[in-house]
Amino acid sequence: MSQAMRPAARAAALLAAMSPSDKLALLSGVDPHVALGVADGPLYVGYVPPNPTLCIPALTLNDGPAGVAGLQVGTTAFPAPIAQAATWDLALQQKLGQAMGLEAWEKGVDVLLAPDVNIARIPENGRNFEAFGEDPFLSAETAVAVITGIQRNPVIATVKHFPVNSQETNRYYVSSNVDDRTLHEIYLPPFAAAVGQGKVGAVMCAYGAVNAIHSCQAPEFLTTILRDEWHFHGFVMSDWGATWSTVPAANAGLDLEMPGGVFFTSALSDAVAAGTVTSSTVDDAVRDILTSMFERGIFDRPPPALAGVALSDISTPADEHVALQTAEESTVLLKNAGGALPLRLGHGTSIALIGAPVGLDGVRPYVAGGGSSYTGGADPVSPLQALTARAAKAGATVVADSGADPTTAASVAGHANLAVVFAYDQEREGLDRDDLSLPLGQDQLIEQVAQANHHTIVVLDTGGPVLMPWLDQVSAVVEAWYPGEQDGNAVAAILFGDVNPSGRLPQTFPPSTAAVPASSGDQWPGSGGGQDAAFTEGLAVGYRWYDAHKVTPLFPFGYGLSYTSFAYSHLRIARSSAHLAVSFTVRNTGARAGAEVAQLYVDDPTAAGEPPKQLQGYQRVYLRPGRSTRLTIALTRRSFSVWDTASQSWRTTPGLYRILVGASSRDIRLRGFVRK
């Protein structure tokens, strides 16, 4: 077959040569250990066997969103996706995707099970760390950048978990009961962008149900929206064990059962024989998979060396640099009273490093969330290692304490010139957090240390928002997320000011467990013991709810401090080819070089029935002290549209739209108007 043929034509030609059993074999995964005769050890999380007669290569699938994960070893542990989003840096996210995709390719992974774009509806979600936060626009932009990067390689990216998977409690059975408008405006946009702009090759349908229909057998999502409206040409695989049937699933548009072996094997050929699934439905599924494989060059790459490749170390200095830059750019400076940071240390200054994530006595620092995406790295750089080295350069010394006993920790802190407490939460797939407090008595640890040393800085290694009852007692707070293997290097660079913090929150930090958008049991975990989650907050997800209800967050969406300051001026709104061009000037008014993330929100006319303001554009810009630049953000017709359920289309409500430009969702610096 000629490589010059287009992927669809190659898929059609191959399909024509396939027998019913050839086709069936492509629609369900098998256990790779059995298929490859490997008793145990690192292998792929999913595997579709090859067909040597037809020269169809095996399809290997593996997690995930923070780098090639699971049992694969020798890969780079990149920062968690919530951190990737916190950079608001599309160029870097694309580089990161490219590095993850290259490592996947080198490990013989054809399908990387990333990115996860589920919207952070509730901060307690156990997989909060694994996706891009609460805003559909930010998630969509981030997803497109990451997917574009991954697919620069002969690797298929997978956007997941379609269409909704916003909690882990009862995740296999929960029905997310959400109205059509909210679905289209909040939960679907990142998927639509992944398909439309990102040209993603695969979609993974979610475990749970939406409006009582399991996602992997919902024709409304798998066919009407994905194929008919968005023109998706790739394939849909089920999440692992999320196929619930043969006939409804196949007819709804599910192509590949993973990990396989239950519903899309003999039961599917029986269904074809019985006429409950047509042979053209089977052909469609085969075509979807083959087209995506041809599209990415899976047929054209040399076959992977499998187990041998899986064991080798393929992390390069270039990949580690991307991991470091992402960790640095994602770190959010939340509080910096009296310019406590960056550290200015005199000779002989002593720093007490407190807490388990410090990495004392061989304890691994807390660099990744748990579950299928876990990537710990072979040898992550601990804060203890990196800060000891960096402090030595400044003529300072470091003492460390695990924080296991707060009284001992407080005494260590009391004898030092300053204390840095590292605190963490333990997000993991399969389990939501009980509440938003730091676990394991860490609030008490921070309070006792802060009492013993008035110069206390807190570094958070968390997958999402936590409450901070001790906020007033500490000088500075840094959110470092799950920073991946470059953990210590990134935090040292930020604390010492070698890097100016520029991360911005992709998610609101609530003031209390009660003051959150989904605060009733019916909303989360849902009634009937988590059977039905009522998305009654509707469009009021994340900052949209805080704005609508005039609740002051602990830290707002889009927020993050810098060691310098920025001024905004000269707003201009002009017609452009895209639709509208909003331009303004940003000036670095401080003494240090640094990056600002300028954010553009649109406030619709009241008649549109939308939350008070919504992110419709942003731009990250690096400026030297005293320098200014003119930024232009393009707005499209969609920026001024709402989903009209009656006509099932995007509509613009006539009226006055406010254009709000600023440094966070609660720090608007420039205001303009547009009439539609």
Of the candidates 508, 444, 529, 534, the one whose C-alpha atom is nearest the C-alpha of residue 664 is 508
- Please report how close the Cβ of residue 239 comes to ligand NOJ at its closest, in angstroms: 5
Catalytic residue among 135, 239, 255, 319: 239
Long-range contacts of 36-44 (CB under 8 A, 24+ apart): 36/306, 36/307, 38/306, 38/307, 41/71, 41/307, 41/310, 41/311, 42/70, 42/71, 42/72, 42/73, 42/307, 42/310, 42/311, 43/71, 43/306, 43/307, 43/310, 44/108, 44/109, 44/310
* Residues 337-396 contacting ligand NOJ, CB under 6 A: 372
Give, for 24, the enclosing helix (H) or strand (E). Answer: helix 20-25
- Closer to ligand NOJ by CB, 254 or 332: give it: 254
Q: Is residue 95 a contact point for ligand NOJ (CB under 6 A)?
A: no
Cα–Cα dist 256/518, whole Å: 34
* Residues 216-245 contacting ligand NOJ, CB under 6 A: 239-240
* Residues 487-526 contacting ligand NOJ, CB under 6 A: none
- Closer to ligand NOJ by CB, 132 or 240: give it: 240
Interface mask toward ligand NOJ for 561-590; x: CB under 6 A: ------------------------------
SS3 at position 474: coil
**The one-letter amino acid at 362:** G
Q: Is residue 428 a contact point for ligand NOJ (CB under 6 A)?
A: no
Backbone φ/ψ region at 42: left (φ over 0), alpha (ψ -120 to 50), beta: beta
464: its two tokens? 């999402």
- Please report how close the Cβ of residue 202 comes to ligand NOJ at its closest, in angstroms: 11
**The one-letter amino acid at 442:** Q
Closest residue to ligand NOJ, judged by C-beta, is 372
- Please report how close the Cβ of residue 109 comes to ligand NOJ at its closest, in angstroms: 12
DSSP string across 638-672? GGG-EEETTTTEEEPPPSEEEEEEEEETTEEEEEE
- Please report how close the Cβ of residue 219 comes to ligand NOJ at its closest, in angstroms: 22
List 29, 32, 49, 64, residue binding ligand NOJ (CB under 6 A)? 64
- Residue pair 577/541 in contact by the 8 Å Cβ criterion: no
Cα–Cα dist 304/58, whole Å: 9
594: its two tokens? 């640094």
- Please report how close the Cβ of residue 375 comes to ligand NOJ at its closest, in angstroms: 12
- Closer to ligand NOJ by CB, 171 or 669: give it: 171
- Please report how close the Cβ of residue 453 comes to ligand NOJ at its closest, in angstroms: 42
- Closer to ligand NOJ by CB, 87 or 372: give it: 372
Q: How many residues interact with ligand NOJ (rule CB under 6 A)?
A: 8
Cα–Cα dist 635/602, whole Å: 10
- Please report how close the Cβ of residue 374 comes to ligand NOJ at its closest, in angstroms: 10
- Please report how close the Cβ of residue 150 comes to ligand NOJ at its closest, in angstroms: 14
Q: Is residue 113 a contact point for ligand NOJ (CB under 6 A)?
A: yes
- Closer to ligand NOJ by CB, 63 or 89: give it: 63
Q: What is the DSSP letter of 457?
A: E
- Is 239 designated active site? yes
* Burial label, 437 (beta-carbon count in 10 A; 0-12, 13-18, 19+): middle
- Residue pair 194/148 in contact by the 8 Å Cβ criterion: no
SS3 at position 602: strand
Residue with tokens 């963490």: 424
- Closer to ligand NOJ by CB, 240 or 568: give it: 240
Cα–Cα dist 389/633, whole Å: 42
- Please report how close the Cβ of residue 63 comes to ligand NOJ at its closest, in angstroms: 5
Give per-residue burial for 354-393: e unless 16+ CB within 10 Å, then b.
bbbbbbbeeeebbbbbbbbbbbbbeebbbbbbbbbebbee
Beta strands in 377-519 (DSSP E): 397-401, 418-424, 456-461, 476-479
Q: Determine phi and psi for 461, rounding to 5 degrees.
A: -105, 80
- Closer to ligand NOJ by CB, 88 or 207: give it: 207
- Closer to ligand NOJ by CB, 63 or 134: give it: 63
Kindly give the pairing relationship between strand 656-664 and strand 594-603.
Answer: antiparallel
- Closer to ligand NOJ by CB, 109 or 272: give it: 109
List 45, 419, 421, 460, residue binding ligand NOJ (CB under 6 A)? 45
* Residues 144-163 contacting ligand NOJ, CB under 6 A: 160
Which residues are near ligand NOJ by CB under 6 A? 45, 63-64, 113, 160, 239-240, 372
- Residues belonging to the active site: 239
